Amino acid sequence: MAHVSVPMYWRTIPQRYKMIGQKCKKCGHVNFPPKGVCKYCSVSSEFEDLQLSGRGKVHTFVLISSGGAPPEFAEQEKAGGMYPVAIVELAEGPKVIGQIADADPKTVKIGMPVKTELRKIYTEEDVIRYGFKFVPATEEK
C-alpha cells in the first residue's frame, strides 16, 4: 500500500474535506489539488486559497472490479462491489481524479454532472482517512 503518514495526510485536509484550491497570482489559473509550482504557467509559486464549488462533469471514467483495486481499496471492492473512478472536470477548470459514490456503476456516463461530498476513503493504522468523492449532482433536484 502506498503509505501516507498521518501528518502528511493531515496537511491535505483543506483539499480533501472541503475542496480548497489555489488560484495562481501570476496567470490566474486554478490549481487543484494544490501544487508547489503552478501547473499552468510553470513559473509562479504565489497562490491564494480558493473555495471550489465541488461541482463538475465526468470527463472520463473506468470501473474498478475484482482484483483491479489498489490494496487500500481491496476491502471496499470486496464488500461494496465494483466502483467507478473518474476524471472529473471541475466547474473552475481543473481535472481531478476521484471515485464516484452513491451511483449504480451502470448509470455513470461521460458528461454526467457530479459534486463532491465527504466519504471514508480508506483506513490505515486504524485511522479513518476521510476525503471527497463525487456523487451524482442531480440527486437533490
Which residues would be at the binding site for another protein (CB under 8 A)?
A: 13, 17-18, 75-76, 78-81, 99, 101-102, 104, 117-121, 128, 130, 133, 139-140
Minimal distance, residue 24 CB to Zn ion, in Å: 3
Which residue, among 19, 1, 40, has the nearest Cα to 88 in the 3D structure? 19
Taking CA 58 as the corner, what is the angle to CA 95 and CA 29, rounded to the nearest 5 degrees?
25
Q: Which stretch binds Zn ion (CB under 5 A): 42-50, 68-76, 87-95, 100-108?
A: 42-50
Using the rule CB under 5 A, which residue among 19, 30, 38, 96 binds Zn ion?
Answer: 38
List, in order, residues 6 or more apart from 106 with CB less than 8 Å away: none
Instruction: Using the minimum distance from each CB to another protein, give the nearer residue, 28 or 81.
Output: 81
Q: Does 44 bind Zn ion (CB under 5 A)?
A: yes
Q: What is the rounded distance in angstroms from the CA atom of residue 115 to the CA atom of residue 129?
A: 19
Quick check: 41 and 34 in contact, CB under 8 A?
no
Among 104, 102, 92, 30, smallest CA distance to 56 is for 92
17 contact, one of Zn ion, another protein, none, CB 5-8 Å limit per kind: another protein
Question: How many residues are there in the chain?
Answer: 141
Residue 13 binds: one of another protein, Zn ion, none (C-beta under 5 to 8 A by kind): another protein
The residue within the footprint of Zn ion, chosen from 1, 6, 13, 27 (CB under 5 A), is 27
- Interacting partner of 121 out of Zn ion, another protein, none (Cβ under 5 to 8 A depending on kind): another protein
